[in-house]
Structures are given as structure tokens and as C-alpha cells.
Structure 1
Amino acid sequence: MSRKPLIGIMVNKRSKRKRTLRLYHQYKENTPVQLFSFTPKDINWKTKRIQGGCYINGKWETKTFRFPRAVYNRCYQRKGNTIKRLEKYIGKNKCFNTITFFNKWVVYKILSKSELNTYLPKTWFYKRKRFKKLLESRKHLILKPSYGFLGRRVYLVDTNSPNEPYKIYQDTLKRPKYSCQDSASFYKKIDELVGSKKFIIQELINTTRAAGRITDVRMLLQKNQNGKWNVTNGISRIAQKDYYVTNCSHRICEADEILQTLASNNKERTALYEEMRNTSLIAGELLEKHLGLLGEIGIDMVIDENRKIKIIEVNGKLQKNLYNKGNVSFSCNDLVYKRPVQFAYFLAAAAAQKKR
């Protein structure tokens, strides 16, 4: 391509344009692209121009841009209406991460109908009668929003204690958030917590622990310069003491480090990592087939007490600040930011070749 293709990074707020672009601009290196950032509100549909920002000779400037050749969506959204509208002008499948706010129930249904079914915790769509029936037989359940974010409003329900028959925990097991002595007040509280939102019910997975703490592994799956899925790296989040969610992390480390602790030997450690890697690649293909063009996803996994891998959650918009915590340096850290730019260039180059 004689001219560097224009690549847009779409964020949800103008205050995020500068710092988001800075991260990707410093890693674009040998990828011959022009990068700029913008928000949906910056688009002028009548003139087909975008008021965005870019770095010119290391300085931030705002200016008017033509529509880009490809778009990397960094907005957190349930529907890709802006992306779909942009593609009418720049071409289909030129904007990736169409949807970044995944519906957990939809993701579960997609994966449960595949070979990955055995990797999933048993999950049900929340209905009051169903929840009550399940709780009578299982005693412990996880209740979480279909559209969750950062582990918020993830409840662990326990009805197995004789002194406090009905307990609802949030984040930590140190003490229940709510305690009820009778079923009527308990289900009234559950109704209040759920409200009009859509929730899912999950079986409680008894996981292996590191020094008594819950830990998970997030596999970062990204498209490369050839448009193919790759596992960029795996990191592990170790929960705070007595916490059952890892979003409140005590420490973040390489997945390999935590697998050395959880596995009985090096052979098992290598086997677990390879299984996580292969499972992630299959999940990426399946989800893209149903949800639209994706460029990166994070797949959170745990190892249960039977040494089996379970997929706890799939994330469409990644917290990339996880890779910049304190003095921790993760392997392939630069690829976390390089690969989206490389994949955008791949899409732009493919579009240019079609026009010839």
C-alpha cells in the first residue's frame, strides 16, 4: 500500500482519546498505519468526517479525519449500532469487536452447544421458582447479572448453616452481606437484589487454591497480523484473603507461575496450560461465528478440585491496566497493544486489495 492506511480507535469518552491512543501509538512501530482516536459523538454522518485526535511528531493534536479504513472498538457496549453504521461506509468486517459487553447467558448457550460444554459450570437463566428449586438441592449457588462488569453484584448464596439458614455474600466470605432467618425475608431480599435486571445462576465451583486463596487464569486471545487467533499470554489473579472473586486482586502474576503452584509436576503444568490455550482458541472461533467480528477477548478459567478446567467468564472489553500493575512485567506485554493495530492493518490491507 503506497499510503499508510488510516486506522481509528473508538472510545466512549473524549477524555479517554488521548491516553488510549498513546498506548497504541507507542507500540505501532513497524506497522505502517496512521492512528487516531475518536468517540461516536465525534462522527459527522452528513459530511463523512470525524473530529478526532492523533499524535504528530510526538504532540497531541485534534483535527478532522476522513472515515478510516478500519476501526478498533474500545467502547464498552451491548450493541454495535455505531459500528454497523460505520461499516455501511467503510465496508463490512472492517470494524472489530462489534460487541464488547457480552451477555453471559448468550455466551453460555453458544459454548454449551459445542465441544466446550464440559468446560462450563452448570448455568441457568434466573427465574425465581427455578432458583428456589435449585437452592433446595444444592445449598450453594452463584448469582450474577447477565451483563456484569468488574465482578460487581456477584452473589454467593448459602443455605447450609443451621444458625443462619439464609446467607448472601458479596465479594468476600468474611461475613455475609445479608442474613435472613426465614425463607420469606430471604427471597424478598433476592428479589430486591435482582430487581428488573436479567441474572444467571451458576453452580459453585470448588477450585484449587494458591496459599488458601482463590485464583484464576485469564487467557488473552487476540488476532494477529494475518487475521488469525493467537493466545498472547496468560495471567493469573490471586484473590484477597477470604474473597471468592478475583477482581479484588491480592496479586497478579504470570499464569505459568500459578500453575507451578497448582500442578503436581511440570508435566501436568504444561498440559494444563496447553489445554487452556487450545480451549481458548476454540472458544474464540465459536463466539466470533455468533457475535460478529472480534479482535480480542479474555477467557477466565479456574481449575476445580478434580483438576478439571472450567471457563468462568468471557470478557469482550479487556482491562489492559492489568498488564501495567506496579513493577510487574509480563511476557509478550508489548503484543497486548501491538496486535490490535496489526489486525486493523490486516483488515485495511484486505480492503485495499479488493479495490484493485
Structure 2
Amino acid sequence: MNVPINISASSCVDNFRRANILCYGLLNPRGMAFTAEGDLLLIEAGAAEAHPPYSGQLTCRDPNTGAIKSTLLSGYRALNMQQRMLRDEIMGLADIAPMMAVQGEKSAWLIALTDYIQGSKMIEVQTLLSGKGGSHVEVAFETLFTTEGNINSLCYHPERQAWYCIKPDTNEVIEFKRNEAQRVVCVLPDLALGQEAVPVNIVYQASSQKLLISLFSGELGRGDPFKGIDFEKHQGEVIALDLNNNHIEHLVTGLTLPTGLCVTLDDKLFVTELCDDFLEPLPAEGLPSQPLHGGFKRFSGRLLQIDLHTRQCDILAKNLDTPSNLAMDQQAIYISEGMGLPGRLLPTLDGQPQELSGMIRKVSLTEV
């Protein structure tokens, strides 16, 4: 058995890359993917405001400017988890992944929607370029699968021709196939300190045909004084799940709240850590007037590149604001940031409060 790469005990190298904010003013950006034409598809969970709560959407954007080219889906429910968790978390549309190539200029995608009220869904979205030069986009969508609980992330396994998603509320990995009932592949075991695993992102690793999963690390359950910030640093992991025997390999340990994942064909793993500390939970009700971190220290996340063969860890970016999802093309990594209630005041590194806003950051893979 291979020894895990322990990030907290390793010497990660500062290898910062050129980065810029691609677009700002987003409503809880989450999953991203690229079209065949190279455009960026972006999921936004929404604002979770009382009127209206239906602000989740899927847009197609210019990958260089972030400008919206078309809105493919809109009007999806966003849920504010503040009262339940005392943290700044919004749930709704969560992730997107390419489904398959379809005839002609059609493309198909599957998106994950968390909805504790009406049931979570996996929705197929088909787009068809039409008109002169493909100037018009026609969209068709249907719900393929419905399940209880929270679908946080999904991926397609080409060899098994099946979809796999993760549920952080039940710590399950679920398999979906067309015209078949969903199947629980495995229930992830508790972590070292007894906290639940809380899977956050799942991706397919082509070299091994395994599923890589980031484990956020659940609360420790130490009672009300710790509610909202009941976490321990360096307890998160990235695991590899072998679907042939359900064996779990601990690839990377010592992470603090790992979230977004992507992996290259030559096994370079990119992972974001949400923050480096846990501060100032929110009140159960109402928007605080003073700047509060909201459970997770704002502007303290980072992007890591881990070579799974050489075991080298590079820090490509830091001071990220609650990063959640990643997407990658040949030139850059795209990061979703800015989780929570839009407009509320946040503490910042320079001491000047600013309003919470979602953003996409583009980090170059070629320029320092």
C-alpha cells in the first residue's frame, strides 16, 4: 500500500502563478466545464434571498473575459443554510460535467441540483447551435434522476458508462445508470478523529479508472460553544475509490477543508483548500451588520498542485476566498470563489471590510 502524501508534514513550494479575477458579482458560483468551442459553462447556486429564492442558473461565458454569451437555465431554488449550520453556506445548483458527444452540433451535460424540499436532481441539458454560424443556442433539459439528500458533485465513468455522485449529508457514493435504480456504491468511513468524511468533489482519474474524492472533514460534535466552527485543521483528505473492489486508497492527507478537484492525464492533482482557520460563526437568524467571517476564515484558501508520482506539492495561489470548484483547460485553472450571502460585510486582509460577492479566478498554468 502506498504511503499517503501528507500535506501538513510536507514542504510545499511557493510556485505562484499569474492570476486575475475573470468575473465578479456572481451568486455563489460552483461547478464549471468547457464546451467543445472552448466557452466556459458556469453553475451559480443562487442568492438564497427570501424574495425570490429562485436565482440559480447555468450560463455560457467567454473564457477570457467572463462575459455572458447565453443563459441556458435559470430560476432554480437556492437554500440558505445559515439557520441550520451557523455558517455562510448556500446550496442549490452544484456541479456540471459533460455527458457525451451527440450528433452534429449538439452537446449534452448533466448538472446536479441540491434541493432538500423537493428532492435533489440530476438534470440532463442538451444544447444545439443553430442559425447562421451557430449564432443561436437551443436548449432542452429533463430530469434523469431524483434522490433524497444533497448531491454535491458528479462525474462520468466512461468504462462503466455510469454516473457517480457524492452525498455529503450521508457520506455515500451513488451510481446512476439510465433506466436503472440508483445504487449505493459505498458509505465512506469516519475520519481519524471520529468526524464524518463529508465528500465534496468527485472526479474520474483516467490513468487508474478510479474515482478521486475530496473529503472536507465533518464537525467534531463538541457542543454549542463550537457550533459553526467545530473543525480541526489538517484533517481533510483526497481518496481514490476502486470500483472493482470498493477499496479506498488515501492519496493525500493533512489538508484543511479540501474542496475543488481536477486531475491531468499524467496525474497532476489540483486541489483547493477552503480556508486555513475557523472563525466567527453567524447568528441563527438575520444578516449581521458587522463584518464576520461566517465560520470559515475568508481570503485564506489556496490552490495546490500535487504530482502523484513525484509527490511534490506546489502552492499555485493563496488568499482565495472560500474556493469551491475547479475547471481546467490547457492554459489555466478556473476557480469558483465567494461562498455565502451576497452583500454581507466580510473582514479582509487589509482590514477594510468589503461586500461578499462571488467570482471566478483564472490562474495561469504557464505564466508566473
Judging by fraction of residues, say which structure has more strand: 2
User: Higher helix fraction: Structure 1 or Structure 2?
Assistant: 1
TM-score by length of 2: 0.24
TM-score relative to the length of structure 1: 0.25
